[in-house]
C-alpha cells in the first residue's frame, strides 16, 4: 500500500462508556444526615455531572462516590471484578444509614479525537 493509500485508511478511534445514575437509598424510617432524601439522584453523561433543578448533593457524599464513577463507566470489566457487582456506596457519616446506588443507564459511543489532543500511539507488544 502506498503512503497516500495509508492516509486514506481511517483509524477507528471509537470507544464506549456507560452513562450513570447515582441515587440516594435509605432504609425506611432512618434519618439521612446529609440533607438528601431517598430518591434524590444525579446523572453522569460523558464526563458531565447533572443534578435535577433545585436539588443539591453533599460534598462529602459526592467525595465518597466520585472515585468509583469513571471505573463504573467502563464496559468490558472482567466478570469476576467486584466493580461489576458492587453498586452501593455507604454514606461517609458512620451514623447515617443512607447509601448511593450507582446504576448504568445507557452506553454512549465516543471518538478519541473529540476528547483528547494526545494522538493514539501504535500498540507495542513486548
pTM (2 d.p.):
0.81
- CA dist 82 and 23 (Å) reads 20
- CA dist 19 and 48 (Å) reads 10
Phi and psi (nearest 5°) for 18?
-85, 145
- Tens-digit pLDDT string for the chain (126 aa): 555 455 545 678 888 899 999 999 999 998 888 888 999 999 999 889 999 999 999 999 999 999 999 999 999 888 898 888 899 999 998 898 999 999 999 998 888 777 878 887 777 776
Amino acid at each position: 500500500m502506498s503512503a497516500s493509500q495509508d492516509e486514506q485508511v481511517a483509524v477507528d478511534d471509537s470507544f464506549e462508556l456507560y452513562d450513570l445514575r447515582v441515587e440516594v437509598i435509605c432504609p425506611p424510617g432512618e434519618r439521612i444526615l446529609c440533607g438528601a432524601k431517598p430518591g434524590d439522584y444525579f446523572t453522569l453523561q460523558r464526563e458531565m455531572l447533572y443534578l435535577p433543578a433545585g436539588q443539591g448533593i453533599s460534598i462529602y457524599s459526592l467525595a465518597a462516590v466520585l472515585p468509583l464513577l469513571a471505573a463504573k463507566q467502563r464496559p468490558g470489566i472482567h466478570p469476576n471484578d467486584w466493580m461489576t457487582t458492587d453498586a452501593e456506596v455507604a454514606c461517609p457519616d458512620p451514623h447515617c444509614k443512607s447509601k448511593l446506588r450507582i446504576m448504568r443507564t445507557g452506553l454512549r459511543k465516543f471518538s478519541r479525537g473529540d476528547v483528547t489532543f494526545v494522538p493514539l500511539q501504535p500498540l507495542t507488544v513486548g
